[in-house]
Structure 1
Amino acid sequence: MNKIYSAAAVTITLLATGCASNSKTYDNAAGRNTIYEDVSSTSSTVAGIGVESQDVVSMTDQMMRDMLQNPMLVSNESARRIIIDSEYLVNESTSRINKNMLTDRLRINLNRAANGRMVFVGRHFSDMVNKERELKRSGVVDAGTIRTTQATAGADFRLGGRISSLDAMDTNTQLKSRYHQVTFEMVDLELGTIVWSGIYEFKKTAQDDIVYR
């Protein structure tokens, strides 16, 4: 009888051990943790030959520093009114990019660095401004606490530019290279003259299997 009990105990122990070991084969752990990376780093985990975060940061920083040294744009007499948006920034390259990323970062950093020496006209917010002005002048709301003006602000200069690229591919190694040329130019909105120009260029080579969205 004791042998029967002993055999039963061993069987139950083996079954329990088997269940425990089987349960360890199911991996219920969470997936790979999100990786935070430096947006200006050239050694990104995912990289291709298109325009990427480090390119956006580098080119807008370079353009900002150059603009701040231009006496036509930064005057000690009166703050120039400037429009920086993506309306006249044309993408003719084979790279897919949101142009607002370039102009927004450039405008915001310039606004902070200029410290009042430049005034930025938010022409991309004109619809919002016009609706509020209409409400004020119709008496639906009061005039606010700052001022009323006959017209909205006109600008002295506006940014334009072009993004171009040149592609090449080695059919033996399947390596692809892309040369980017990004130009920014500030245009006098009365004369049509170009008062400042900047160029940023870079070339990348890789087995390009990255999808840009």
Structure 2
Amino acid sequence: MPPNVGGVATTELDPSTRGPVSGVGIESQDILAMTDQMMRDMLQNPLLANPARPPQVIVDAQYFQNLSSQRLNVNAITDRLRIGLSRAAQGRMVFVSRESFGVVADERAMRRGGRVDVGTLGLTRAQAGGDFRLVGRLNSLDQRNPRTGMVQRYNQVTFEMIDLERGVIVWSGLYEFARAAADDILYR
């Protein structure tokens, strides 16, 4: 097959900066800035980061809704936030993996059935429960001028940490921005 003579060579990019292909939606630099801001805010909250016992926190995409007009894999936000928090918290928070519930249940059944030993940590009565869970929403408001083709989008991402026993919000965060462009790009 002949080489793509008219093509463009691959370019390495810094995900924290705007790249050559950008539009009015949420992009890599927004995810990095937003999750860094949320992480810093959460680690300053005494209920989350400084209690007598480290709280057990669930941070995944199960209760994070994309209600915006943009197609976006919300795992890109929640995974980066959880990993960043886990690193920065240094034991001040313990993270519960609901995504691994089935894997853990299978291992527990093999241990209790005598098919494998109990490992080095021993047995517990049940899988870990969560004290707090992250919920959130991605919203947008779009405008388009049919005469000029100009597109404008207001993007809003909200995060809340919910006390899973009492149902109260112990922390909230908001990240928002607006952009305009002559032509929007296709997000996949």
For the superposition of Structure 1 and Structure 2, which TM-score range results when normalised by the shorter chain?
over 0.9
Aligned with residue 169 of structure 2, among 187, 194, 197: 194
Aligned to 2:69: 94
Aligned with residue 63 of structure 1, among 12, 32, 38: 38
Moved more, 170-179 or 26-35: 26-35
Q: Which whole-Å CA distance do the structure 2 matches of 1:173 and 1:95 have between them?
A: 21
Structure number with higher helix proportion: 1
Q: Is the 8 A contact 1:50 1:96 kept in 2?
A: no
Q: Is the 8 A contact 2:163 2:169 kept in 1?
A: yes
Q: Which whole-Å CA distance do the structure 1 matches of 2:71 and 2:8 have between them?
A: 28
- Give SS of 1:184's match: strand
- Over residues 91-141 of structure 1, what are the superposed CA-to-partner deviations in whole Å (9 max), with x where a residue is unaligned? 111011001010000000000000000000011111111011111111111
Q: Is the 8 A contact 1:48 1:207 kept in 2?
A: no
Where do residues 131-170 of structure 1 align in structure 2 (5 Å cutoff)?
Answer: 131-170=106-145
Aligned residue type for 1:193: V
Aligned with residue 205 of structure 1, among 170, 177, 180: 180
Q: Which whole-Å CA distance do the structure 1 matches of 2:149 and 2:5 have between them?
A: 37
Aligned residue type for 2:8: R
| Structure 1 residue 203: Cα displacement | 0.6
Runs of 4 or more off by more than 4 Å in structure 1?
26-31
Q: Is the 8 A contact 2:24 2:184 kept in 1?
A: no
- Give SS of 1:112's match: helix
Q: CA RMSD in A?
A: 1.6
- Change in Cα spacing, 1:185 to 1:77, as seen in structure 2 (3 Å) is same
Q: Is the 8 A contact 2:15 2:29 kept in 1?
A: yes
- Over residues 43-82 of structure 1, what are the superposed CA-to-partner deviations in whole Å (9 max), with x where a residue is unaligned? x110111111011111101100000000010125110110
Q: Is the 8 A contact 1:161 1:184 kept in 2?
A: yes
Q: Give TM-score, length-normalised by structure 2.
A: 0.95
Q: Is the 8 A contact 1:165 1:178 kept in 2?
A: yes
Moved more, 53-62 or 168-177: 168-177
| Structure 1 residue 191: Cα displacement | 0.3
Aligned to 1:32: 8
* Paired residues, number: 187
Q: Which whole-Å CA distance do the structure 2 matches of 1:98 and 1:32 have between them?
A: 27
Q: Is the 8 A contact 1:183 1:197 kept in 2?
A: yes
Aligned residue type for 2:13: E
| Structure 1 residue 172: Cα displacement | 2.2
- Give SS of 1:161's match: strand
Aligned with residue 128 of structure 1, among 84, 103, 107: 103
Does residue 182 of structure 1 match 2:157? yes
| Structure 1 residue 31: Cα displacement | 4.8
Does residue 41 of structure 1 match 2:17? yes
Aligned residue type for 1:109: G
In percent, how many aligned pairs have the same letter?
53
Q: Give TM-score, length-normalised by structure 1.
A: 0.84
Q: Is the 8 A contact 1:85 1:100 kept in 2?
A: yes
Greater relative contact order structure (CA < 8 Å, 6+ sep):
2
